[in-house]
Chain A
């Protein structure tokens, strides 16, 4: 057995992926992935299905082999080792609890394999941690989905792995249980101090739980950083659309001052602070989050600190509880989405009303790439 796996690791280790590439017959799941996750961090890999996030996880667990590249845990190259030799445990999407063993035996399985002393009391303690101690003697299939999820978590955690891999473990749970498990999972991670690598397609879950989020698309990491930073300043069209919603405007750069860069979108000037623009020449895309924009029934005073477009027509209003979502069609620009919070004083406007849309220049962000086409709402046509 691999030496790392025989040690009863009490602390997380850092994970490093160097130049990982994974090809399957006919397609490339991951192309040239470099990633460093510091010890003790809660790291989320976020992306749509088929983006390569689960493949990445399987490579780290050793269930698949990379076509090229290296995987290091705690500085040691483990690329060539078998899954059972790696100091890594996985909470599988399907939980994969052994149906022929009791819950307790499931949790004790890893400890017994490594010949850790007193596996049963340790397994019982792990079950107590996830508040399922009283169900230790049941069979997994007698448990609810949420309980099974917690058993899977206990079965992985009890081994005190250097690195815990979570493959959309909350995917099968209903919203309420999901929320509760997110909070518990985060609390457990803080308590045991392990490194967590969490794979999910749920952007809220990733932003809520992770210290660092990496947004993956088509086998590459598009952008990586703290959730607030990613949300505040997405750098690509994909990130701006996948992490929350965005209104994007595409135009030629017509003005490049000391502070800001401005583009011309069908005669409207839209500016972005220079420090928030990836590109400053040629045709660029500038975006704003729907909740940062607002609309006005009278044309407001123009100012260099505010981007103002319009007038347009409200073509759709949706009530979602905490906010109203307005879809505004602006001639020659396209559709713009505006969220207005339901705090009782948001302007009550009816369908078809004529409005102007504005937002502060400092809330704009300039993207590195351009939208592929003008498919949906809130992408303007040049």
Chain B
């Protein structure tokens, strides 16, 4: 299925199992229990909650079991701009992260191949942001681009921004933050495919009359497709559900609220649990649909 794309060697294994499956089942048990406990149970709870109806008492935040499928229509009606915005931001940030990460991964995985020290250093730099909490980093960006920062001041004095325009709270800032936060998730899978790219294929391409650009397009790019697909999935899916960057407390404003923010508001502030759950289920279904379509289209089954 869709998530086979995460495996580097998607496709059926040619090695047949030799012994009885009992050992395999025992080894699988912890994982299955984990999935059952922490994925399936909350998922069912989520679906059940999304169909609940307000309690007869009318008290805020109290709901009883029901089958209110109209909850879904209601949230779509109220929040369709947020849904579209979420996927638009996710798409923009994923594309930007890809454009930034691919050359980076290419350099680390191909050009720096003969210099292990440089390779190790650059990989460490890619992972280095993880040493600091995600929230702290986002707050740091808010400081750097704050209304009083010299960046905003110089942009305003140079006329690129009007004197009453600021960066924090704009879609630009949110997409910037999302892109920044997810670059390592894009770089590492692409690096891992490019690192194994056989240079001799590129030499063969050049030998067969393909210039550097054509060689890249017809050989390097298709051969690094598994990495691109893993990277884009690892980036797109979490971004679509992100609620930190777009929140008013960080880089966003009410104009940049994404589904995650709406879910947060409904759940923690308005206490409208069915609406929050219905939105979560919708987000999950939409991502599942998009990803399935994407993986089918990019034909990863054909790759290696």
Contact = CB atoms under 8 A, between A and B. Distances in A.
Interface of A: 1, 5, 61-63, 82-85, 88-90, 92, 94, 96-100, 109-110, 113-114, 155, 159
A90 B208 CA distance: 8
B209 A98 contact: no
Closest 7 CB pairs of A and B: A110-B208, A113-B209, A96-B204, A83-B206, A96-B200, A100-B222, A90-B207
Contacts of B210: 84, 109, 113
Interface in B168-214: 198, 200-201, 203-211, 214
Nearest to B215: A84
B192 to A, nearest CB: 17
B16 to A, nearest CB: 18
B219 interface: yes
Nearest to A141: B304
B203 A89 contact: no
B105 to A, nearest CB: 18
With a 10 A CB-CB cut-off, give which of A5, A109, A110, A155 has the most chain B CB atoms: A109
B209 A114 contact: yes
Given A90-B207, A109-B205, 7 more contacts: A83-B206, A83-B207, A85-B209, A98-B204, A110-B209, A113-B214, A155-B208
B303 to A, nearest CB: 6
9 contacts: A1-B209, A61-B203, A84-B205, A84-B206, A92-B203, A96-B201, A109-B210, A110-B208, A113-B214
A82 B303 CA distance: 30
Contacts of B215: 84
A84 B219 CA distance: 14
A279 B134 CA distance: 81
Contacts of B214: 113
Contacts of B219: 98
Contacts of A94: 198, 200
Contacts of A82: 206, 211
B223 interface: yes
Given A96-B201, A100-B223, A100-B302, A63 B209 contact: no
A332 to B, nearest CB: 53
Nearest to B209: A113
B198 to A, nearest CB: 7
A99 B223 contact: yes
Contact of A159 (B208, B223, B303): B208
Given A96-B198, A96-B201, A89 B206 contact: no
Nearest to A139: B302
A9 to B, nearest CB: 12
Nearest to B211: A84
Contacts of B204: 90, 92, 96-98
A90 B202 CA distance: 13
B76 to A, nearest CB: 41
A109 B208 contact: yes
A155 B21 CA distance: 45
A100 B207 contact: no
Interface string B212-230: 0011001100110000000
Interface string B81-107: 000000000000000000000000000
A96 B222 contact: no
Nearest to B206: A83
With a 10 A CB-CB cut-off, give which of A85, A89, A99, A155 has the most chain B CB atoms: A99
A63 B199 CA distance: 11
A88 B208 CA distance: 8
B207 A61 contact: yes
B81 to A, nearest CB: 41
Given A63-B203, A94-B200, A99 B209 contact: no
Contacts of A84: 205-211, 215
A89 B200 contact: no
With a 10 A CB-CB cut-off, give which of A1, A61, A83, A94 has the most chain B CB atoms: A83
Nearest to B219: A98
A296 to B, nearest CB: 55
Given A99-B223, A100-B302, A88 B207 contact: yes
A92 B208 contact: no
B171 to A, nearest CB: 37
Contact of A98 (B201, B206, B302): B201
Contacts of B211: 1, 82, 84
Contacts of B207: 61, 63, 83-84, 88-90, 92
A262 B209 CA distance: 58
B101 to A, nearest CB: 21
A198 to B, nearest CB: 16
